[in-house]
Amino acid sequence: MKICVIGQGYIGLPTAALFTKSGCDVVGVDVVKDVVNNLNKGKIHIEEPGLKEVIEIAIKNGKYKASLEPEKADAFIITVPTPYIADNYSCDLSYVIEACNEILPFIEKGNTVIVESTIAPMSTDDVIKPIFEKAGYTIGKDLYLAHCPERVLPGKIIEELIHNDRIIGGITPECSKKASEVYGQFVEGELMLTEAKTAELSKCMENTYRDVNIALANELAKICAEIGVNALDVIKMANKHPRVNLHSPGPGVGGHCLAIDPYFIYAKAPETAKIIKLARDTNNSMPQFVFENIKKITPNGKIAILGVAYKGNTDDDRESPAFDIITLLENEGYEVAIHDPHIKNDLYVDFENAVSESNLIVILSDHNEFKNMDYTIIKNNMDNPVIFDTKNIVEQVPSDIKLYNYGNLFELSN
């Protein structure tokens, strides 16, 4: 089987890689020329364990190539971004629509078209299906259309694409069957056949569920800072209950999923989805909360930012709350030095330069490198070392270094 994957990002590239492992011929399409050229040389542009090795083997075996344009194939998989429209929080389908129009000249009767991009409920029926019908296809008879959302964790994408259960949402039952045959080549989890609108809402609700629970933890952190209670102890004690699993508070919510997908539901029913919107507002307020506490610790000077990736041990900084915090600091007149060992950026500095002469270290990513830092470097380069750990990952520091986290922020109000 030949597969054409539109979009070679955090989802499209690993998906393409796994199809090559199952013996498929794969064309990975991307609009960025440098990405395409580098992929054809075996150079990947995202950090994901095991991915580079699979792509290198696939190129060597002639099973994978990157291209700026689609090719004829048996199945087309669309994995392009779907941001939200700021004015009304609705799903921006422009990239998906563009991808559908891009593959039209290469589609033949009997092909399967799968949209993996997270989309708002009813998008496949109301927006995507008419594109192919207008081109003369009868969905479910001579062209098979489905929405099959991914559900993976950065850092474990290869593993989870294989082992996680997969939702297969076809426009018709025959569409679901055809799409399941595509994924059945490498997915070892259950293939759950359903209709497209159910698949769309299921994916959005998965991420909304997580966003709401993170918001509860973040709200608890704010309450504890206000009334003088250790939030981390509260969470630890509460989670001893066999049916309670409070999440860990943090600097906000990032990533292309949790920070965006809940809006797709809210936009469909804004008068009803009140909890969903409140959770989004709560999580979006955390950068301001972090900023206010930074000002309490040090009203001016240099801030060393450790990590901008929203997910630890990855280079994924999409929708990262770190950028909002950095903007707030710079607008207030702070000098900001950024260090992230997982992200290549000419403006970022190494660890020693970041902490040198800093008034405060702020941890915004839960990278392993920050869980056990070289405290000698910190003490040699800071007069009065202070760390604000917004990810609650530092368990212990030397006695001559002050550590703030969501367990003791109330001290700043005393």
The catalytic residue positions are: 203, 257
Q: How many angstroms separate the CA atoms of 370 and 189, rounded? A: 34
Write b or e for each residue in 240-270: b if 16 or more Cβ atoms lie within 10 A of its Cβ, otherwise e.
eeeeeebbbbbbbbbbbbbbbbbbbbbbbee
Q: Which two tokens stand for residue 325?
A: 């915090």
Dihedral angle of Cα 295, 298, 300, 306, to the nearest 10 degrees: -90
**Side chain identity, residue 129:** K
Q: How many angstroms separate the CA atoms of 71 and 76, rounded? A: 9
| Residue 414: count of CB within 10 angstroms of its CB | 5
In the sheet with 2-6, reading across from the earlier edge strand, the strands are 64-67, 25-29, 2-6, 75-78, 112-115, 144-147, 166-170, 191-195
Coil, strand, or helix at residue 99?
A: helix
Q: Considering only CA atoms, which of 148, 147, 150 is closest in space to residue 161?
A: 150
Helix H or strand E segment including 65: strand 64-67
Q: How many angstroms separate the CA atoms of 248 and 213, rounded? A: 9
Cβ-proximal residues to 231 (8 Å cutoff; 6+ apart), any chain:
220, 221, 223, 224, 225, 249, 406, 407, 409
Coil, strand, or helix at residue 303?
A: strand
Q: How many angstroms separate the CA atoms of 276 and 320, rounded? A: 20
Q: Which two tokens stand for residue 160?
A: 């989870």
Q: How many angstroms separate the CA atoms of 375 and 387, rounded? A: 11
233, 407 in Cβ contact below 8 A? yes
